[in-house]
Amino acid sequence: MLTDWGGGIGSCPTLVTARTASRHAPVYAYELLDGAPPFGAYHGWDLPFLWKTSIPLSQYPDYEDMTPDQQRLSRAMTDYWTAFAHRGDPNTAGQPRWARTRHDSTSTLGLAGGTIARTPFATDHKCGFWANA
């Protein structure tokens, strides 16, 4: 039974795309680790964190219902995205450094309520396995 939800068709190809694009332009890859069970964060889950809005009739979290850690994460994400829009570099004073993705990167910035840190993305998603599957 295959239990790696998205590793071979979502997560790992996304890292390959980020690595390839990094040869031509600055790339800052991240993984939103703050998500609802059973699948965790999925496509679009970051929208309420970035826009502090509710999406009616959806399973996305309402900003008003987020935990204090999630609201802090939302503010940090907004700061990163705003800095990137202004300067092409998401890094700001007082936040964990977000390293550029390189052609051989295996980690990304992991964004979770309460914790922002580099994460071993390729290892976590078994990208070595999927590259040879």
Structure tokens at 58: 């959806």
Q: Is the N-terminal amide bond of 68 cis, ω within 30° of 0? A: no
Instruction: Record the pTM.
Output: 0.86
110-127 b/e (C-beta count within 10 Å ≥ 16 → b): bbbbeebeebebbebbeb
Report in angstroms the alpha-carbon separations of 73 from 33, 62, 111, 116, 124.
Answer: 11, 14, 7, 8, 21
Domain boundaries, the chain: 7-131
Beta carbons of 42 and 35 less than 8 angstroms apart: yes
Provide the residue-wise pLDDT of the chain in tens; the chain has 133 residues.
455 567 777 889 999 999 999 999 999 999 998 876 666 777 788 888 898 877 765 667 777 888 899 999 999 999 999 999 999 999 999 999 999 999 999 999 999 988 999 999 999 989 999 888 7
Closest to 98 (Cα-Cα) out of 28, 44, 11, 33: 28
